[in-house]
A and B are shown apart, each in its own frame.
Chain A
């Protein structure tokens, strides 16, 4: 009798323990990315997923600076919101920089913010000419003006009066706040030894890697100077500097081993001498295309405009596999009609996606 009951129980247990598959039945949900508001006197409403509207996200690199962008577009109307990267001397950006802060709008002044000139070099009288390359493109000779904030890879091909030539490169960051900076100083003594050190400006140094003509020759800590033998040729000495606050910079100089006054300092002076009063770190820009007409917030005054971010949440990965954050924000700004030149007020409530790697 007991076996009968046991058999019955086992059978029932087997019956109820049949493998249950999960059915991939999706449920309808509410729209995720939306824009509601007005542009000038016209109402605008975009819902990603309705009427062919789609939320595009990506990161653009403009003048060496990442712009974290989202663009909600249905093909006729598109609204792009971009956030400039900031603290460029830090290795990575924190998305929380955007959270719960009133952001400033960026502005294109179209004015010179820095001039790359051979006359600033200490030994300029021995320099015949300088060919300036910006981001691997020839930008000019002897004097080149920078008009946009950016993180520029500046290379200079220097021709000396004695016929010698040497090129070297430096990162020049203009228009952005630097949390740490330094100058690379050097000299060559009578024994043919380089003495080099990093003159820090805003933050203590943690360590420095020294490269001579792209060959690692030493690593020093803190403010420890470099002592290294050098021959009587022209050399490029590069220092990769890591600061205590986490910033990282690279500085290069030309070393004249023959001591013929052909040393060329780094380009830190151009960073320090920038004319720009406002930094572009984490600024926001608004670009609208409506019925073929473009509007831009960077071409007009948005000093008093606001973009109040109410929430920042991680959403997921886009098709490029990059992280996308969903922002809920209220935007009150001005945009310039690039055709007519008129200024229109924009009032928007946005649920927007922005790629932030």
Chain B
């Protein structure tokens, strides 16, 4: 059938006058039966859906919860057919669009200025790709018996010759399959439930471990750390930002402080003790900015930190300062004490600041793996207490594994 411009105009005008369909819970329940259990994602699918996810979540910027509104600017649909019929369809204020089946060739496609919709429709020979409410790709085999349903649904139909007749649902950026009726070979699409958030965001939890240069010099030993954190991350276009808090345990390696104290009283007591810092317990804020190229992201990381606890091994010796029958000497008697304690903070600057660069790769939609490398800007050792000198900008490296937790309504 050949479409004239007037026909197409009339079609959209009539559709615009009709009310939008009403979503019913039964649609979703029925559709769930047909969702595949195992979803294989090929490499191409992975990239496609990643980009789709970014695009769709970006589109959430412009969508209010529960309402389906058209953009104020008109959206045009153009398509061509074997008949070389070009039609410009104005989607403004049109709820549904019903197109009578047209014969389309492989070059036929439906495009809209809202580009995401075009991604839903592949070329005829590859069938139609749609997404379920979980944004998973659902492969819908092309079926020649698919027919249009009704005006309240977006139908994807195929005619006997393998052509595809799209009915475009206006103003939505994603489609949600509510019903798949094999018998009728119909696919109904309903507006997706819009998540009420301005940006594509999610919470995350993270595990990390790292190594670091000794805080003091000269020293050839390295410390290591491990910890976990949680926070929030969001992305706009190719830029991502994350903020969270975490805690970690640092094994400094070789941090030993020694002190000699002379305590005056009736006489004087000499105390010599050594403190070996075995562990630092740190709370830190994790701030990072990234630029994404597909799955790969690079950026900067900042971590203000606070040492809230330590474990030290404390050994001391003292002379006997009691009233002497012989003069007090400075040599230490057999009065050694060795034990481990928590909470000793002398000699430490409790606040720290780490800055560095990071690289991360998305293993899948929810999982990221990355590496940080940077330096501690703020010395964490009080110079007056250490055996040695504060190392300037000690280097730290860290590996992290981050899992995203998406919000649901």
Contact = CB atoms under 8 A, between A and B. Distances in A.
Interface residues of A, number: 36
Nearest to B263: A26
Contacts of B343: 20-23
A23 B267 contact: no
Contact of A23 (B314, B324, B328, B405): B314
Contacts of A25: 259, 261, 273, 275, 314, 316, 344, 346
Given A48-B267, A49-B268, A56-B323, A28 B262 contact: yes
B341 interface: yes
A110 interface: no
29 contacts: A15-B281, A16-B281, A16-B308, A18-B281, A18-B342, A22-B341, A23-B314, A25-B316, A25-B346, A26-B261, A26-B263, A27-B263, A29-B262, A29-B263, A30-B264, A31-B264, A33-B264, A48-B264, A48-B265, A48-B268, A49-B266, A49-B267, A52-B324, A52-B328, A54-B324, A54-B328, A55-B266, A56-B266, A318-B266
Nearest to A28: B261
Nearest to B273: A25
A184 to B, nearest CB: 46
Interface in B277-327: 281, 283, 308-309, 312, 314, 316, 321-324, 327
Given A31-B264, A32-B266, A319-B266, 13 more contacts: A8-B230, A12-B247, A16-B281, A18-B281, A23-B341, A27-B261, A33-B266, A48-B266, A48-B267, A49-B264, A54-B267, A55-B267, A57-B266
Interface of B: 230, 247, 259, 261-269, 271, 273, 275, 281, 283, 308-309, 312, 314, 316, 321-324, 327-328, 341-344, 346, 405
Contacts of B314: 23, 25
B341 A319 contact: no
Nearest to B246: A12
Contacts of A28: 261-263
Interface string A42-78: 0000011110111111000000000000000001000
A2 interface: no
Contacts of A27: 261, 263
Contacts of B283: 16
Nearest to A17: B309
B264 A54 contact: no
A22 B321 CA distance: 23
A189 to B, nearest CB: 62
B109 to A, nearest CB: 41
A43 B128 CA distance: 107
B266 A353 contact: yes
Given A25-B273, A54-B323, A75-B327, A49 B265 contact: yes
10 closest A-B pairs by CB: A49-B268, A20-B343, A52-B327, A21-B341, A49-B264, A55-B266, A31-B264, A28-B261, A54-B267, A23-B344
A255 B323 CA distance: 53
Nearest to B309: A18
B309 to A, nearest CB: 6
A75 B324 CA distance: 11
A29 B271 CA distance: 12
Contact of A20 (B261, B275, B309, B321): B309
Contacts of A22: 341, 343
B200 to A, nearest CB: 19
Interface SS of A by simple majority: loop
Nearest to A55: B266
B312 A23 contact: yes
A23 B344 CA distance: 7
A24 B316 CA distance: 9
- A20, A21, A25: residue with the most chain B Cβ atoms closer than 10 Å: A25
Nearest to A47: B264
- B267, B275, B316, B344: residue with the most chain A Cβ atoms closer than 10 Å: B267
B208 to A, nearest CB: 15
A217 to B, nearest CB: 49
Contacts of B322: 319
A31 B266 CA distance: 9
A31 B268 CA distance: 8
A110 to B, nearest CB: 34
Nearest to B326: A52
A25 B339 CA distance: 13
Contacts of B268: 31, 48-50
Interface in A169-222: none
A347 to B, nearest CB: 24
A50 B263 CA distance: 11
Given A16-B308, A52-B327, A319-B323, A32 B341 contact: no
A56 B267 CA distance: 9
Given A28-B262, A49-B264, A19 B346 contact: no
Contacts of A318: 266
A21 B309 contact: no
Given A21-B343, A54-B323, A319-B323, A26 B264 contact: no
- B259, B268, B346, B405: residue with the most chain A Cβ atoms closer than 10 Å: B268
Given A25-B344, A28-B262, A50-B268, A15 B327 contact: no
Contacts of B266: 32-33, 48-49, 54-57, 318-319, 353
Nearest to A74: B327
Contact of A16 (B262, B263, B309, B324): B309
A25 B328 CA distance: 21
Contacts of B261: 25-28
Nearest to A16: B308
A330 to B, nearest CB: 22
A49 B268 CA distance: 4
Contacts of A21: 341-343
A321 to B, nearest CB: 13
Given A20-B343, A23-B341, A25-B346, A32 B308 contact: no
Contact of A26 (B247, B271, B342): B271
Interface in A236-280: none
Contact of B342 (A19, A75, A316): A19
Contacts of B308: 16
Nearest to A54: B267
Contacts of B346: 25
